[in-house]
Amino acid sequence: MIIPVRILNKYKSVEPYLEPLRIRVRDTLLVICEREGFALVSRVKSLASVSEKVETGRYAAWSEIDDLVAFTVVVPRLSDEPGVLNSLRNSFKEVTVRARGSTLKAPDVFRFDSTRFIGRLDSQNAEVTGPLFDVPFEVQIRSAFEHAWSVTTHALTYKTADVSWSKLRLTAQLKAAVEQLDTLVAAFEDAAKYITPSDWPEIEAKAGLREFFATQVKTGGIPEELAPKDWSRFVDNVFAAVIASSKLKKPKDVGDLIQREVNAELQRLGRDRIPRSISLWQLTVAALVQSNTIQTTFNKHWPLITPELEELYPKLRQVNPRFDYA
């Protein structure tokens, strides 16, 4: 395409600073994103894209183009957005924030509407300043659903060889679905109340297990430091170990068995003698093996057996197979 000479010259005047700016901002954002588990995407706008942007007629001056260097922070939920903005404000000099929903939009229109932070490198404590600190950059904050919609439809709809009412319509429909998904995630706890549950014995058994163990921790029957990080993962793991090492297949039988034997072991030990050197999962499996409730042979299951566990419960030396540290 033909690029106007003045646009070309203006772009060339800042081009040497764009990639260094991208790297410096990216390195700071990576620390934020890796700490929180967010995804990060970055790019430098090409000369052709800049020229097309000016041709839209939406910009009164070159100084209004603030996304020559742009980033996208992808968050799981829209509720994560305020935290990202706080981190950006603490790390960079804020120019402006164009918040989600701040532009006029009819209720039946569905289009791009992510929050955008416009900033510059903060020169306050910099030993050397220069043009690098004058070039603004943009950070978009998108939900995971928004990001999927954007990267999927942008090239298909807005950077395509044809103009199609059907494609634009489908893109808007997909955006509507994205907004609905984000709304459901934001209101997940409340929305789940309106889902009519169906009977499923395994879920009921696991819910009973979770209640049993959580109550033991709450009432002091099990020391609080033994509580797992994720109760749902814990009961899944205990349930799987029993299924792999016993003939019990009915979920209710499995759940009742675990509760009965663990409760007996807790009573035998007493709170002061409950070992702190093993996890609650290990204590549970050990109680079941030691009482001959489940076998020492596991089927396609490799339990974690530690020296500390074997010392406390000698019968677990017979467990096979087991997790291999090698």
Q: Which two tokens stand for residue 241?
A: 């170990």
Per-residue model confidence as pLDDT tens digits over 13-62: 999 999 999 999 999 999 999 999 999 999 999 999 999 999 999 999 99
pLDDT of residue 104: 65
- pTM given for the model: 0.79
pLDDT of residue 108: 67
Cα angle for residues 126, 132, 134 (degrees, 5° grid): 95
All domains in the chain, ordered by first residue: 5-150 (3.30.460.10), 201-318 (no CATH)
81/144 Cα distance (integer angstroms): 12
Per-residue model confidence as pLDDT tens digits over 265-284: 999 999 889 999 999 999 99
Helix (H, G, I), strand (E, B) or coil at 241: helix
Q: How far is CA 190 from the centre of its chain?
A: 20
Per-residue model confidence as pLDDT tens digits over 147-164: 999 888 877 776 677 788
Per-residue model confidence as pLDDT tens digits over 95-116: 999 988 777 677 767 777 899 9
pLDDT surpasses 90 at 248: no
Residue range 181-201: average pLDDT? 90
20/307 Cα distance (integer angstroms): 52
- The residue with greater pLDDT, 246 or 4, is 4
Per-residue model confidence as pLDDT tens digits over 119-128: 999 877 666 6
Helix (H, G, I), strand (E, B) or coil at 88: helix
137 CB-near residues (< 8 Å, 6+ apart): 21, 22, 25, 66, 67, 68, 69, 70, 71, 118, 119, 120
Arithmetic mean of pLDDT over the chain: 91
